C-alpha cells in the first residue's frame, strides 16, 4: 500500500529532528535548550502527522501540476543563480528572462528580447542608478 504524502513528509521531518538533535551534541546545555524544545515538539507532531497519514488513502492527483514547466523553471533558475557571479547580474538576467520566457512557450522573440531589455534596464535604473547598489559585475565588467 502506498504511503500518504503526509506520512512521507512526516518521515522527512523525523529525519530532520534526528539530524538536528545530533548536531546539538557538544553545544552548551543552555544554548541547546530552546532548539531541543522545538525539536521535541516537532518529533511529537511528526508522529501524529504520520499516524494521521496512515488512516487516509494516498491522493490520486499528482504532486506537481505541470512537471515539465516546473523542471524547466527550477533548472534554469539554478543555472541562472550559479551564473550571476561569474557572468554578472545584468548579462545573466537578460539571457535568463529571454530564455525562460521562450522555454515556457512564449514564441515571440522580439517581445521576449524587448521585455528582457526593459526589465534589466529598469533594475539597473532602480538598484544601481537610484540606490547605488553594487551588483555582481561578472568577468565582462569587473575592473
Closer of 65 and 142 to other proteins (Cβ) = 65
Closer of 54 and 64 to other proteins (Cβ) = 64
CB of 1 to other proteins, least distance (A): 19
Tell me if 69 contacts other proteins by CB under 8 A: yes
- Please give the backbone phi and psi of residue 78, each rounded to the nearest 5 degrees, phi first: -60, -45
Assess contact for 91 and 142: CB atoms under 8 A: no
What cell numbers appear for 71 in the block? 523542471
d(CA 13, CA 95): 38
What cell numbers appear for 43 in the block? 518529533
Tell me if 55 contacts other proteins by CB under 8 A: no
Tell me if 83 contacts other proteins by CB under 8 A: no
Closer of 1 and 62 to other proteins (Cβ) = 62
How does DSSP classify residue 115? H
What cell numbers appear for 134 in the block? 553594487
Tell me if 87 contacts other proteins by CB under 8 A: no
d(CA 52, CA 55): 5
CB of 18 to other proteins, least distance (A): 13
> Which residues does 82 contact at the CB level (< 8 Å), separation at least 6?
none
**Which residues make up the interface to other proteins (CB under 8 A)?**
5-6, 9, 13, 20, 23-24, 27-28, 30-35, 38-39, 41-42, 45-46, 48-49, 52, 63-66, 68-70, 72-74, 77-78, 80-81, 84-85, 89, 93, 96-97, 100-101, 104-108, 111-112, 115, 119-120, 123, 126-127, 131-136
Amino acid at each position: 500500500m502506498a504511503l500518504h504524502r503526509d506520512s512521507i513528509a512526516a518521515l522527512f521531518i523525523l529525519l530532520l529532528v534526528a539530524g538536528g538533535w545530533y548536531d546539538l551534541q557538544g553545544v552548551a546545555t543552555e544554548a541547546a535548550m530552546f532548539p531541543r524544545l522545538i525539536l521535541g515538539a516537532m518529533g511529537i507532531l511528526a508522529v501524529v502527522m504520520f499516524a494521521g497519514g496512515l488512516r487516509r488513502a494516498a491522493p490520486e492527483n499528482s504532486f506537481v501540476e505541470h512537471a515539465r514547466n516546473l523542471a524547466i523553471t527550477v533548472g534554469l533558475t539554478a543555472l541562472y543563480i550559479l551564473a550571476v557571479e561569474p557572468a554578472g547580474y545584468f548579462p545573466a538576467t537578460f539571457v535568463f528572462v529571454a530564455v525562460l520566457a521562450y522555454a515556457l512557450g512564449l514564441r515571440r522573440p522580439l517581445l521576449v528580447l524587448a521585455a528582457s531589455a526593459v526589465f534589466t534596464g529598469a533594475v539597473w535604473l532602480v538598484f544601481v542608478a537610484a540606490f547605488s547598489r553594487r551588483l555582481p559585475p561578472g568577468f565582462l565588467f569587473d575592473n
